[in-house]
């Protein structure tokens, strides 16, 4: 949809809710093109086979993350994904209520053509959920403090090459590259395993079948420690090779400077990001921890750069962003058409 530059319009998605009105520059929204959904549903998963599993960690770390590749050839999943979508995994066994484990989603960490170049091998970046148990509801045992292991993440990380795994998908219809990627520039923001889809998208943009994309691409990766920087060598080498690709590491528990992705972008606004947000070609992608959105939206409002990226509904206003609290933001602030968001 093309709209007049700089004017105010009711935009895509706003049709459903006329109280959303934003100011936008031309063009406002990416054309995402066709996408397949749920070719394989959780009720009838197909069998994939693990073809590789590698640790993503750089030295000793408090986290355990693996890059796991699964062969889905001969199933309806083969060739059905686009970079940015997710696949489902069903762990064997039953949950506490005696029911088969529910499907868990994992973002594709490979380009549309898969790890093998023909869409038969999909991959993801999976982090083991490991913690000490803590009660979440009043009915939970308040005294318990045993080891808590996430069911599916640990199952997936434990799998060995050759093991079979039940898979479903594709899932997700909006967190995608535009059908014509050359029409846009990209700000990819990740926390933790939120880097997974960008590992696929950056490979697609810079090392796909045609010439490398001429788009400007900024990747901002936030982790607690440098040892948690996933695919760090790859992104650093792409930044060396491609003038238009910029890789920003943001470390939150550094002894030197404690930084979060929104504060980093705030600090670098005048030197790097203001012109990027003001550029009508720019799309912003956010992937990773739930909660990363609110800091970004507040910061964009503070800089007067919300147009197309953030939509605010009454009674909140952009001008009064300082007064936004978590509860009111959840109800009244949402992504605009130039923001693509996958948080979990």
Piece in contact with ligand FAD (CB under 6 A), picked from 13-21, 143-151, 218-226, 289-297: 143-151
Q: Of 68, 70, 78, 86, which lies in the binding site for ligand FAD, with binding defined by CB under 6 A?
A: 86
Provide, rounded to whole angstroms, the least separation between the CB of residue 296 and ligand FAD.
Answer: 18
Only one residue has tokens 């979990």, namely: 344
Q: Which stretch binds ligand FAD (CB under 6 A): 49-57, 98-106, 207-215, 328-336?
A: 98-106
Is 72 a binding residue for ligand FAD by CB under 6 A? The answer is no
Tell me how far, at minimum, the Cβ of 115 lies from ligand FAD, in Å: 15
Whose structure tokens read 């009720």? 43
Contacts with 138 (C-beta within 8 Å, 6 or more apart), sequence order: none
How many residues does the structure list for the chain?
Answer: 344
- Identify which of 80, 73, 101, 82 has the alpha carbon closest to the alpha carbon of residue 38: 80
Shortest Cβ distance from residue 134 to ligand FAD (Å)?
5
By C-alpha distance, which of 148, 70, 159 is closest to 106?
70
Among the residue ranges 101-109, 274-282, 313-321, 330-338, the one whose residues contact ligand FAD (CB under 6 A):
101-109
Q: Crossing angle for the helix pair 232-241 and 196-207, nearest 10 degrees?
A: 30
The correct pick among 67, 127, 184, 338 for binding ligand FAD (CB under 6 A) is: 127
State the number of binding residues for ligand FAD (CB under 6 A). 24
Q: Does 83 bind ligand FAD (CB under 6 A)?
A: no
User: Alpha-carbon dihedral of residues 61, 63, 67, 70, nearest 10 degrees?
Assistant: 150
DSSP, res 23: E
Q: Which of 42, 76, 150, 178 binds ligand FAD (CB under 6 A)?
A: 150
Q: Looking at 67, 82, 104, 218, which residue binds ligand FAD (CB under 6 A)? A: 104
Give the residue closest to ligand FAD by C-beta.
150
2-10, 110-118, 151-159, 300-308 -> range binding ligand FAD (CB under 6 A): 151-159
Answer whether 118's CB lies under 8 Å from 111's CB: no
Residue 131 in contact with ligand FAD, rule: CB under 6 A: yes
Q: How far is the CB of 317 from ligand FAD (least distance, A)?
A: 31
User: Counting contacts by CB under 6 A, is residue 293 touching ligand FAD?
Assistant: no
Asked if residue 70 binds ligand FAD (CB under 6 A), the reply is no
> Could you identify the residue written with the tokens 């999909």?
122
Distance CA 169, CA 81 (A): 8
How far apart (Å, rounded) are the C-alpha atoms in residues 198 and 264?
A: 19
Interface with ligand FAD includes 329 (CB under 6 A)? Answer: no
Binding of ligand FAD at residue 136 (CB under 6 A)?
yes
Min. distance of Cβ 136 from ligand FAD in angstroms?
A: 5
Residues that bind ligand FAD (CB under 6 A): 86, 104-107, 124-127, 129, 131, 133-134, 136, 148, 150-154, 193, 196, 342, 344
């Amino acid at each position: 949809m093309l709209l007049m530059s700089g004017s105010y319009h009711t935009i895509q998605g706003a049709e459903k809710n006329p109280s959303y009105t934003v100011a936008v520059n031309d063009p406002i929204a990416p054309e995402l093109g066709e996408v397949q959904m749920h070719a394989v549903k959780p009720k009838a998963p197909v069998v994939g086979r693990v073809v590789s599993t590698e640790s993503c960690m750089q030295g000793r770390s408090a986290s355990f993350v693996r890059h796991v590749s699964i062969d889905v050839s001969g199933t309806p999943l083969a060739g059905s994904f686009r970079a940015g979508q997710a696949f489902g995994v069903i762990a064997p066994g039953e949950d506490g209520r005696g029911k088969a484990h529910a499907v868990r989603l994992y973002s594709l960490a490979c380009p549309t053509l898969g790890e093998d170049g023909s869409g038969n091998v999909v991959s993801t970046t999976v982090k083991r959920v490991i913690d000490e148990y803590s009660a979440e509801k009043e009915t939970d045992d308040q005294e318990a403090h045993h080891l808590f292991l996430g069911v599916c993440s640990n199952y997936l990380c434990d799998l060995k090459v050759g093991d079979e795994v039940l898979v479903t998908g594709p899932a997700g219809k909006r967190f995608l590259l535009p059908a014509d990627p050359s029409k846009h520039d990209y700000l990819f923001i990740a926390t933790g395993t939120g880097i997974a889809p960008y590992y696929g998208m950056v490979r697609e943009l810079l090392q796909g079948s045609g010439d490398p994309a001429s788009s400007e691409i900024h990747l901002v990766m936030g982790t607690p420690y440098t040892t948690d920087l996933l695919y760090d060598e790859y992104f650093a080498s792409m930044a060396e090779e491609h003038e238009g690709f910029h890789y920003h590491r943001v470390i939150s528990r550094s002894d030197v400077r404690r930084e979060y992705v929104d504060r980093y972008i705030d600090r670098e606004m005048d030197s790097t990001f203001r012109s990027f947000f003001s550029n009508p070609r720019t799309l912003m992608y956010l992937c990773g921890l739930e909660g990363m959105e609110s800091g970004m939206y507040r910061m964009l409002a503070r800089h007067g750069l919300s147009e197309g990226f953030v939509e605010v509904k009454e009674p909140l206003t952009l001008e009064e962003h300082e007064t936004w609290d978590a509860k009111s933001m959840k109800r009244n602030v949402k992504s605009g058409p130039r923001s693509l968001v996958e948080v979990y």
